[in-house]
């Protein structure tokens, strides 16, 4: 099949939508399918182009057999509202126009957020007269009003109308978690056209390994109990709780416990300045790191923090880093309510805390730091659970089954996986 995939983000960007799109597409290419991805020049999260790229009208490259077409967008950092909205709309316009000139696909897939990427997919669906699959990774309108100072009223109602209008016209919807599927159904979307394909783990890339002593020495972590947060340091993640927890640990005299924050985002500079002002030498900001560094970073971590702000919106979120950390046999400290907490408890791979509660975070970190056997037990349990349920190879094959049903291409390759 010829698959056209629209994603605002793609490697070398390292956020969740970029990784998911790449991991799926490269596996489809390995199975003999032709995949074209329309994306932007890499610049997330700070709005600055990555070395070696230019923000041209159109530029093409091949990435692991995937034809990647990068279109011009108005560049903006992942903070603020107006400039980001212009960035989103510019991608929609550029991607929509570009979709007219690529080889006619058998299916169009577009991933959200952001929602305007979904509308670009709808445009390609209409103009190229091809089946359309909309991938839902977030509740877009609710997310905007949760994370910004923009208030509700008419603007919120219009954003929600725009969102659910797209959900209504998409013939097939793939959600990344059962929570999103339930929320869409509650909003009136037909459950019969929705399928859940979660994120997962590349089991070979994130295989368990011995601690990287050179990296631990470089960041002065040798001999410390390291609690790592790796990912976007943004408005949604509520990482102020780490600074409050670090202050409590310092006051308790726990100089053996260190928080390692790896990543970039709208809140990193402010949090780093705040940590300096509080004289928190037990919080280390490692900055943005390439994806190839992640297994090394997890190897020197004694546990991993996965955290989002306390809000109803995030009870549906299933962070992809859960699967990577668990497969590397590292226990998880989870500050996310809802579906993610259900998985942590079911798998017995970590400790759940109330989001934004520094007291519970401190108690959980101290419990793990004082009990190496518990850390090993939680790590082993997580590895077993993820390996048999969230393997990227199988999930990519399951997704091909969804594509096969949407297009009628029940080939030998996908017929066995069609749900």
Instruction: Look at 24 and 419; give whichever has higher pLDDT.
Output: 24
Cα 302 from Cα 282, distance rounded (Å): 15
Mean pLDDT of the chain, nearest integer: 92
What length is written for the chain? 419
What phi and psi, each to the nearest 5 degrees, are found at residue 328?
-90, 10
Cα 249 from Cα 262, distance rounded (Å): 20
Assess whether pLDDT exceeds 90 at residue 45.
no
Q: Which residue(s) pair with 306 in the sheet? A: 334
What phi and psi, each to the nearest 5 degrees, are found at residue 33?
-90, 150
- Given a contact cutoff of 8 angstroms between Cβ atoms, the answer to whether 2 and 106 are in contact is yes
Q: In what order do the strands lie in the sheet with 66-71?
A: 58-63, 66-71, 34-40, 2-6, 107-112, 132-136, 172-175, 194-196
Residue 419 pLDDT: 42
Assess whether pLDDT exceeds 70 at residue 224.
yes
Percent of the chain residues past pLDDT 90, beyond the cut: 80
- pLDDT confidence tier of residue 326, bands split at 50, 70 and 90: very high
CB-count burial class (<10 Å; 0-12, 13-18, 19+) for 193: middle
Residue 280 pLDDT: 97
H-run or E-run covering 77? none
Average pLDDT estimate for 249-255: 96
**Coil/strand/helix, residue 258:** strand
Per residue in 377-401, pLDDT (tens digit) is 999 999 999 999 999 999 999 999 9
> Nearest 5°: CA angle at 401, between 326 and 315?
45
Assess whether pLDDT exceeds 60 at residue 24.
yes
Q: Record the tokens describing residue 298, joined without a space.
A: 């997890």
Helices (H), 170-267: 178-186, 213-218, 240-251
H-run or E-run covering 95? helix 82-99
Residue 416 pLDDT: 45
Average pLDDT estimate for 227-254: 96
Cis peptide leading into residue 12 (ω within 30°): yes
CA 156 to chain centre: 24
Per residue in 57-99, pLDDT (tens digit) is 999 999 999 999 999 999 998 877 788 889 999 999 999 999 9
Per residue in 264-280, pLDDT (tens digit) is 988 999 999 999 999 99
- Beta-carbon contacts of 166 under 8 Å, excluding residues fewer than 6 positions away, are 115, 118, 119, 122, 134
Average pLDDT estimate for 246-262: 97
**Coil/strand/helix, residue 173:** strand
- Beta-carbon contacts of 80 under 8 Å, excluding residues fewer than 6 positions away, are none
- Given a contact cutoff of 8 angstroms between Cβ atoms, the answer to whether 259 and 284 are in contact is yes
Per residue in 167-196, pLDDT (tens digit) is 999 999 999 999 889 989 998 999 999 999
Q: What is the DSSP letter of 50?
A: P
Residue 292 pLDDT: 92
Q: Record the tokens describing residue 27, joined without a space.
A: 């596996």
- pLDDT confidence tier of residue 415, bands split at 50, 70 and 90: very low
Cα 245 from Cα 259, distance rounded (Å): 9
Write the DSSP assignment of 287-355 as a string of letters. Answer: E---GGGHHHHHHT-SEEEEE--S-GGGGG---THHHHHHHTT--EEEE--THHHHHHHHHT-EEE--T
Instruction: Look at 154 and 291; give whichever has higher pLDDT.
Output: 291
Cα 362 from Cα 139, distance rounded (Å): 31
Average pLDDT estimate for 135-152: 70
Closest C-alpha among 15, 112, 111, 10 to residue 63? 10
Assess whether pLDDT exceeds 80 at residue 141.
no
H-run or E-run covering 361? helix 358-369
With the C-alpha atoms ordered 348, 349, 351, 353, is the resulting torsion angle positive or negative? negative
Assess whether pLDDT exceeds 70 at residue 232.
yes
Assess whether pLDDT exceeds 90 at residue 37.
yes
How many C-beta atoms surround the C-beta of residue 44 within 10 A? 26
- Beta-carbon contacts of 251 under 8 Å, excluding residues fewer than 6 positions away, are none
């Amino acid at each position: 099949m010829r698959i056209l995939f629209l994603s605002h983000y793609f490697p070398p960007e390292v956020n969740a939508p970029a990784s998911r799109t790449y991991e799926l597409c490269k596996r489809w290419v390995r199975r003999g399918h032709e995949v074209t991805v329309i994306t932007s020049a890499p610049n997330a999260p700070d709005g600055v182009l990555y070395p070696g790229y230019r923000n041209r009208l159109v530029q093409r490259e091949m990435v692991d057999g995937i034809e990647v077409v990068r279109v011009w967008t108005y560049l903006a950092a992942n903070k603020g509202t107006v400039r980001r909205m212009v960035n989103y709309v510019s991608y929609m316009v550029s991607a929509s126009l570009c979709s007219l000139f690529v080889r006619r696909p058998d299916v169009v897939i577009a991933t959200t957020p952001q929602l305007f990427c979904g509308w670009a997919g709808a445009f390609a669906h209409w103009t190229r007269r091809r089946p359309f699959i909309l991938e839902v990774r977030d509740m877009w309108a609710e997310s905007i009003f949760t994370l910004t100072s923009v208030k509700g009223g008419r603007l919120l109602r219009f954003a929600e109308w725009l969102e659910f209008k797209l959900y209504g016209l998409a013939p097939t919807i793939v959600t990344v978690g059962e929570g999103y599927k339930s929320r869409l159904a509650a909003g009136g979307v037909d459950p019969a056209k929705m399928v859940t394909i979660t994120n997962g783990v590349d089991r070979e890339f994130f295989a368990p390994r011995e601690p990287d002593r050179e990296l631990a020495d470089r960041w002065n972590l040798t001999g410390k109990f390291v609690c790592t947060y790796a990912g976007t340091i943004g408005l949604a993640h509520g990482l102020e709780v780490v600074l409050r927890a670090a202050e409590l640990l310092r006051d308790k005299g726990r100089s053996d416990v260190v928080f390692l924050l790896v990543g970039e985002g709208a809140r990193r500079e402010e949090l780093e300045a705040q940590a300096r002002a509080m004289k928190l030498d037990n919080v280390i900001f490692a900055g943005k790191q390439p994806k190839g560094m992640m297994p090394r970073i997890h190897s020197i971590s004694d546990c991993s923090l996965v955290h989002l702000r306390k809000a109803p919106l995030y009870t549906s979120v299933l962070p992809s880093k859960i699967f990577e950390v668990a497969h590397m046999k590292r226990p998880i400290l989870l500050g996310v309510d809802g579906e993610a907490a259900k998985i942590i408890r079911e798998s017995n791979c970590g400790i759940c805390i109330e989001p934004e509660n520094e007291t519970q975070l401190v108690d959980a970190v101290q419990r793990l730091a004082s009990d190496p056997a518990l850390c090993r037990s939680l790590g082993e349990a997580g590895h077993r659970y993820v390996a048999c349920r969230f393997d990227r190879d199988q999930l990519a094959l399951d997704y091909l089954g969804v594509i096969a049903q949407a297009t009628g291409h029940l080939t030998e390759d996908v017929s066995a996986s069609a749900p």
